Structure 1
Amino acid sequence: MELLVVCVALLFSGSGGAQETPYEDYMAQLKACPKECRCPPSFPNAVYCDNKGLKRIPVIPPYTWYLYLQNNLIDALSADALRNATQLKWLNLNRNKISNEGLEEGAFRALPNLVHLYMEDNQLTSVPSPLPSTLEQLRLSRNRISKIPVKVFAGLGRLNLLDLQGNKLQDDAVTEVSLKGLNGLVQINLAKNQLSSMPPGLPPTTAQLFLDGNNIEKIPAGYFKGLPKVSFLRLNHNKLANGGLPRNVFNLSNILDLQLSHNKLTEVPFIPPGLEHLHLDHNKIKTVNGTEICPVSASSLAHYFEENGPRLRYLRLDGNEVKPPIPWDLMLCFRHLRAVVI
């Protein structure tokens, strides 16, 4: 046994220089691990403090890149709580009891490398501020947020994902002013809030817009002119009727997936040529006229199919008043259809 220990020590000691060896470095990290947490050797920059019933954040070692604090009882985050964790890239505080009152100003100031911040299922009533300029993902779903402070996103040009699903946001909270600064945004999730109109001022980089479960009744004509990159649009569980959809409102060159389930539509809206997935289930649609909804005229179909034609592949119509069989003119126009659910 003594011989084995000597061999291991020699293996890590190398040529015997004064610099700290990998073995010594590992042992130092092991000692620095908070007693309430786990620091697995296989993931040396991660500290797991989840599901421990913690009421406060323990002293986090400076080597930490990934910190997991979800499923605890933490109700406050002081400015000093993470002062040692200057290398932190990923912070998970989901399912705690943190409120804005318990969030001390400057609590995230000591985190100049933070990329992912998760604070879902807490008790926030406002988007926290200030936030690190390095953030790329901010997840705040299922809080009580009703306010987005002015300039809260100023300087967050790297943020590409903003999740505010399941809060209490109304139209006066989601404005061009409150969203200013999100110059690199790709996905925004505003589902399950209290919006009655389409949010203004979204950055032109937006590609994925999720608005399910609101009270939206109409989409203004030309709404998407400033959003040329939208490819995934979800408006399920709203109050959209035919009168609230201008004919060409979805005529977007990049749109691939459009979801309008559980609304009040009685007709199939215009289908842009590039659309691949269309969800219209659980509306009030009675008939489907393939000729009327075809994005190209019958005389142009032959030419278009030389260029692959309309790309619709999946169409969902169940929960309406449409009865089989599938109309022949529908199949004639959308020859790439692989599934039609009626």
Structure 2
Amino acid sequence: MPGTHISAVVLTVVLKIFALQTQALLAPMRTAVQFLIILLGTGVTAACPEKCFCYSTLVDCRHIALQNIPPDVSPGTETLFLDGNSLVRIPRNAFGNLGNMSYLGLSSNRLLLRNYTFEPLLKLQALDLSANHLLQLQETLLENLSNLTWLNLASNNLQRFPPMMSLAKLTYLDLSNNELIVFQETFKHLPQLDTVFLNNNQLKALPATGFDQLFLLKVLDLSNNDLSSLPSRFFNKHRKLTDLRLDHNKLRNLTATLFSHLDDLQYLTISGNAPVNFPPELFSNLTKLLKLDLSSNSLTFLPKNFLSNLQQLQVLKLSDNFIGNLVADIFKCNPKLVYLHLDSNNLRTLPVFEGLQQLEELTLSFNRLVEFPKEFGDNLVKLQCLQVNDNLIRQWDSEGFQNVSSVILSNNPICLNRGHAARVESTNIECTKKHC
């Protein structure tokens, strides 16, 4: 069949990408593998372990209740999925004839790992050991995997990630959902790391210079921990960082220069740390920032120049705070803002927002708004969705909102009055409980 080899390569690449990015899709992907094999028809490997599916250099043995590594996996296998089985002990020579393997998936088993487990896999580039109830890792466990670039250890019971000198090429490390403590030497021998997930651990503090070797770091997730503070110079050497997540910690006081060296930062989330003291100049150097999430932080007001240097900002979330007033020009320097969330605050009045000609979605639900300024919609020429439900609005002038495709006014006095409701629902304004 012409093109079979190309199809096999495409299939292998697609499966690797999906396996590296998500575990939630593992079961549906099994069905997808079967469908693609049937669709492509030819090229299926003749020798294939029982209950597994094989195609070209890929072997899929996920979720088939395996208790042992299949002995008849082809020596030419490059991608092997063994996720979601009942594997516990892996004999010394289980991977002895699989020296060409580049991806190995062993997630969701109950593995007891030994130093010899991965000895033959000199070409391995990606290893998934997530959800295996691992309590500890020996420093020599991965010493032969000098070509490893992607390692997933999420959802185990690890308290420590030992320094591993052999993993100098590692770029991606997922240690989320463990019980980790980060030490000064944890990342000492991992200079190529650009993505680190440490979310959902029990981190109470971070070593002041423990991340200094990670000059190439682009993504750092520290959300859902117990951090009450961050070292003042913690991010000084991370100029390539683009995505930083600090949600749901116990952060209180952030130093004014904490983010001053993050020239390339594009995504910053600091929600759920209430109450936080945000210095007015905290974000002044983040000129490339696209998304900023400050929701659920007990903010009562926004300093006048708080957002003035964020000219590339597209998404701003300020929901679930206690903001009572906004100055008229607070968003004047954010001309590219597309999504603005101000729901669940204490807003009683609104200024006429300046500089929001690109805004498409504005949420103002669960405030104390009684009315809108007459010219409120004049500058919002691209607004498509306006949510103002659960306020105190008794009348509505729709003249300034003719171009808005959806205005949600449910649970306002205007929607409780039958006469008003009939008039309201005949326009683009709705009293029903829904979101844009």
Q: Where on the TM-score scale, by shorter chain, does this alignment land: which range? A: 0.7 to 0.9
Of 49, 55, 62, 2:67 maps to 55
Change (3 A) 1:144 1:95: same
Q: Is the 8 A contact 2:243 2:266 kept in 1?
A: yes
Q: Could you tell me the percent identity over the aligned residues?
A: 28
Q: Does 1:286 align with 2:300?
A: yes
Q: What is the alpha-carbon distance in structure 1 between the residues aligned to residue 303 and residue 220 of structure 2?
A: 28
Of stretches 199-208 and 62-71 in structure 1, the one that deviates more from structure 2 is 199-208
Partner amino acid for 2:220?
L
Q: What is the alpha-carbon distance in structure 1 between the residues aligned to residue 340 and residue 123 of structure 2?
A: 47
Partner amino acid for 2:177?
G
Q: Does 1:322 align with 2:320?
A: no
The root-mean-square deviation of aligned C-alpha atoms, in Å, is 2.1
Deviations 1:138-194 (A, max 9, x none): 001000111222x32x13222110000000102xxx223122211110000000111
Q: CA deviation at 1:327?
A: 3.5
Q: Does 1:273 align with 2:287?
A: yes
1:134 alignment partner in structure 2: 147
Of 169, 172, 183, 1:175 maps to 183
Q: Aligned to 1:291, what secondary structure does the other structure show?
A: coil
Q: Does 1:258 align with 2:268?
A: yes
Aligned length: 290
Deviations 1:3-34 (A, max 9, x none): xxxxx9xxxxxxxxxxxxxxxxx79x413x22
Counting only pairs closer than 5 Å after superposition, residues 99-178 of structure 1 correspond to structure 2 as: 102-127=112-137, 129-131=141-143, 132-149=145-162, 151-152=163-164, 154-170=165-181, 174-178=182-186
Q: What is the alpha-carbon distance in structure 2 between the residues aligned to residue 247 and residue 340 of structure 1?
A: 24
Q: CA deviation at 1:87?
A: 0.8
Q: Does 1:187 align with 2:199?
A: no
2:314 alignment partner in structure 1: 313
Displacement over 4 Å in runs of 4+ = 266-269
Partner amino acid for 1:115?
Q
Q: What is the alpha-carbon distance in structure 1 between the residues aligned to residue 167 and residue 210 of structure 2?
A: 16
TM-score computed with the length of structure 2 as normaliser? 0.63
Partner amino acid for 1:75?
V
Of 77, 85, 90, 1:72 maps to 85
Counting only pairs closer than 5 Å after superposition, residues 208-227 of structure 1 correspond to structure 2 as: 208-227=219-238
Q: Is the 8 A contact 1:268 1:293 kept in 2?
A: no
1:37 alignment partner in structure 2: 52
Q: Aligned to 2:159, what secondary structure does the other structure show?
A: coil
Q: What is the alpha-carbon distance in structure 1 between the residues aligned to residue 306 and residue 128 of structure 2?
A: 46
TM-score computed with the length of structure 1 as normaliser? 0.80
Q: Aligned to 1:162, what secondary structure does the other structure show?
A: strand
User: Which consecutive unaligned segments of at least 5 residues does structure 2 have?
Assistant: 2-42, 343-436
Q: Is the 8 A contact 2:307 2:333 kept in 1?
A: no
Change (3 A) 1:323 1:76: farther
Q: CA deviation at 1:81?
A: 1.1
User: Which consecutive unaligned segments of at least 5 residues does structure 1 have?
Assistant: 1-7, 9-25, 296-308
Of 233, 240, 261, 2:251 maps to 240
Q: Does 1:197 align with 2:228?
A: no
Q: Is the 8 A contact 2:307 2:334 kept in 1?
A: no
Q: Is the 8 A contact 2:307 2:331 kept in 1?
A: no
Q: What is the alpha-carbon distance in structure 2 between the residues aligned to residue 209 and residue 138 of structure 1?
A: 15
Q: What is the alpha-carbon distance in structure 2 between the residues aligned to residue 278 and residue 133 of structure 1?
A: 38
| Greater RCO (Cα-Cα under 8 Å, separation 6 or more) | 1
Deviations 1:187-242 (A, max 9, x none): 0000011111235422111111000110111112121112221111001010011x
